[in-house]
Structure 1
């Protein structure tokens, strides 16, 4: 069994693979403070819930954009699985050239998504991840990550509105029945959701215009499903894209070690 872990700013997602099959996945909040013992209890609980044996874990790979939780999390993994994870970062084999000004600045999650989208769906491909931030990454036909765009996620936009306007309530992020909203809650929902739909559509259109050729658009992330039916240019929504990308990178590095 291969364990893959995506440590995001808001949530951490854990997936378990048997061969190439993702057999189960779990999520927990990243920012909740935890000791290594608490992480160990969390991992043990997941395995007990799905009646899986921690001893069956052969290796672990992690992509993290939250460095300050990693010491305790890794020690928690060691206590449960007896293994130190492979971490996505400088020096790891991804099979993907990063043609940015400074490749070390590109988040591990973006690299993993780009690897997954290219390997699973081909290139050229534009990869969208609707997470804490919304990212747009262009992978060319040769499998190189060439350019990207990053914006505040829709939840961050909503939080900024609540925090900076004293009389506005906290609301659920969902599309109202009509953009012609008639009360404060639906006014806010219309602005957030329809405004974000417009932003996503415009950025995709402008990036595709600059790319200058037909490109597949693949989306993932917590809010991705909301925009799948609203943005015509999104071709594929794959909610497990990051976990699949971690497995692909794991296998590339395993094959590299075996050749040595």
Structure 2
């Protein structure tokens, strides 16, 4: 069994992947670059057992990270507690296997490259991947699976935190869809929910429209990330929502590692 680890700026996601490439269990923990391999092991070992598996079932580990300082302890987790050397996405035998057709290929986040790989396995033609995380990213994946660039916007929660921190009279609120489609709120909290939620819907619509016009051919839109479900009710935005897109991409990278090297 494969342990796939996706280290984002906000959360670290772990998934057990069986020999058929299917995710059979997943967990997440807040990202903390100071967290030690021992801490990860105590937490993860209990969850693996609660799911009906054993640590010995894990024969390989693959990691994608956008937090370089967290990588060492995750690699140590693999060697010390799973008895294997962790594979790192984009390095060595797990090269991308796709072209990064951008001006600075070395600067492409591992999560975005892995998402491109997974998206290419799910749809033909041009794809746009929208990932809702610490940042909200829009990525263009070509018909050949190549990563062709995109755009980066502040994430939903990041925008909310900035609003709360900078405005003394505004409360901290959770992001959630407003109760109706009105954009004229009558309470402070209601107005904040409207501004954040419908503001993001408008941004998504606007950037998608511009990207599709620039691509000039039919496009499939795939959404991922923990907050994608918030916008899923607007069926016109996405063709599909894949919460595990990055983890699926890691599983594909592992399966194709000899081909990509």
TM range, normalised to the smaller chain? over 0.9
The size of the alignment, in residue pairs, is 257
Q: Which residue of 2 aligns with 1:244?
A: 248
Structure 2: gaps spanning 5 or more residues:
none
Deviates more, 1:12-21 or 1:159-168: 12-21
User: What secondary structure does 1:72 align onto?
Assistant: helix
Return the alpha-carbon distance in structure 2 between the equivalents of residues 101 and 58 of structure 1: 37
State which drifts further: 87-96 or 106-115: 87-96
Contact 2:90–2:96, Cα closer than 8 Å, also in 1: no
Alignment partners' CA distance in 2, 1:54 and 1:90: 25
| Equivalent-residue separation in structure 2 for 1:71 and 1:64 (angstroms) | 11
Aligned to 2:30: 29
> Residue deviations 1:100-123, cap 9 Å, x none?
001010000000111000112223
Show the counterpart of 2:225.
221
Q: How far apart in 1 are the matches of 2:123 and 2:87? A: 25
Q: Does 1:194 align with 2:194?
A: no
Instruction: Return the TM-score normalized by structure 2.
Output: 0.94
Which structure 1 residue ranges, 5 or more long, are not aligned?
none
CA shift, 1:47, in A, is: 1.2
Q: 1:45 aligns to what?
A: 46
| Matching residue of 1:182 | 186
List per-residue Cα deviations over 1:73-106 (Å, max 9, x = no partner). 2212322201121101355322210000010100
Matches of residues 1-260 of structure 1 in structure 2 within 5 Å? 1-19=1-19, 20-31=21-32, 33-91=34-92, 92-177=94-179, 178-230=182-234, 232-255=236-259
Give, in whole Å, the separation in 2 of the partners of 1:93 and 1:171.
41
Compute the RMSD of aligned alpha carbons.
Answer: 1.5
In the TM superposition, residue 55 of structure 1 has moved relative to its aligned partner by 1.2
Q: Residues 102 and 206 of structure 1: is their aligned pair in 2 closer, same or farther, counting only changes over 3 Å? A: same
Moved over 3 A (4+): 254-257
